[in-house]
Structure 1
Amino acid sequence: MTDKPIGAIEWRDLTVDDADSVKDFYAQVVGWNTGSVSMGDYDDYTMSLPGSGETIAGVCHARGSNAGLPPQWMMYVRVADADASANRVLELGGEIIQGPRTMAGDIYYMIKDPAGAVLSIFSSTG
């Protein structure tokens, strides 16, 4: 992910049981190009814009760290301090679904707001 301002939506992932067929669905419906990302014993996928090739989303199997997630588009929003924002979630009646997790120098939390909507927040660890 690139460094964007606090509050920016930096990434989107779709988590589904069968990412293989669903990535093809989106490629045919909206024209995205696909690329594979090895997750060990299976592949998840990147989705990129035709023409520029800019990668804008992922389509992921509901396995590994995504096991048990319902089919959904997940947005990832940059915050100043993921730990502090996670504490604020709890203070305001939300829920931490997963986290903290670290990946590529960032710390992540998957949260649920008081209405039940799900979002991921993250910040740099260093």
Structure 2
Amino acid sequence: MDSKHIVGKIVGAAYVTNDLDEAKNFYANVFGWSYRPASTPFDNQAFLALKDDAVVASMGDYPADRHPDSKPGWRIIIAVEDVEAAIQAAVESGGKIILSPSDKRANGVGMVQDADGAMLGLVPLEAVSKFKFNQQRMEDDNQVVERLRRLSHVIG
């Protein structure tokens, strides 16, 4: 299946916070979300946020080795054809590299900060299906859990 039609589109969302319990309560009360624990190799907690049994986002607290420029808030994940080229374009446009896809923790995904400080995850097309939270169901979210486990540092 040709997935080029999603290049440049948002394919996922992750929320990183200093107070995970408060954030989970807020989104549960406002949107009716429930949560399922997600494993992580880092010193932090992670959850998949669910609505009507569908994964809609991920949530986590900060790992101990987070990037110093990382602030609490939402991160959007955008599909790109070439992560390195997207990172270069971001830097040339005033952005900052937070995580290179060549970093062993990144698993091929990049993270940049735009000129205003917003954090953006850049995911290659071949990995997009693992980030399309709004289309994943509980019974097949194991791939999402595995990708989030590998990327828990990236979202922070």
TM-score, structure 2 normalization: 0.65
CA distance in 1, matches of 2:6, 2:47: 26
TM-score, structure 1 normalization: 0.78
Does residue 1:60 correspond to 2:60, yes or no? yes
Give the aligned CA root-mean-square deviation in angstroms: 2.4
Aligned counterpart, 1:7: 8
Greater helix fraction, Structure 1 or Structure 2: 2
Identical aligned pairs, as a percentage?
A: 25
CA deviations on 1:21-80 (whole Å, 9 max, x unpaired) are 321221122101211012256531111112xx1101011111156454211100000011
CA distance in 1, matches of 2:21, 2:67: 16
Structure 2 runs not aligned, ≥5 long: 128-156
Relative contact order (C-alpha < 8 Å, sep 6+): which is higher? 2
Alignment CA distance shift 1:67-1:37 (3 Å): farther
Could you list the runs of 4 or more consecutive aligned residues of structure 1 that deviate by over 6 angstroms after TM superposition? none
CA deviations on 1:69-124 (whole Å, 9 max, x unpaired) are 21110000001100111111122222112222433xxx222112223332121215
CA distance in 1, matches of 2:118, 2:58: 19
Aligned counterpart, 1:32: 33
Does residue 1:123 correspond to 2:116, yes or no? no
Aligned counterpart, 1:22: 23
Between the two proteins, the alignment pairs up a number of residues equal to: 119
CA distance in 2, matches of 1:76, 1:18: 22
Structure 1 runs not aligned, ≥5 long: none
CA distance in 1, matches of 2:38, 2:65: 15
* Contact in 2 for aligned 1:49/1:56 (Cα 8 Å): yes
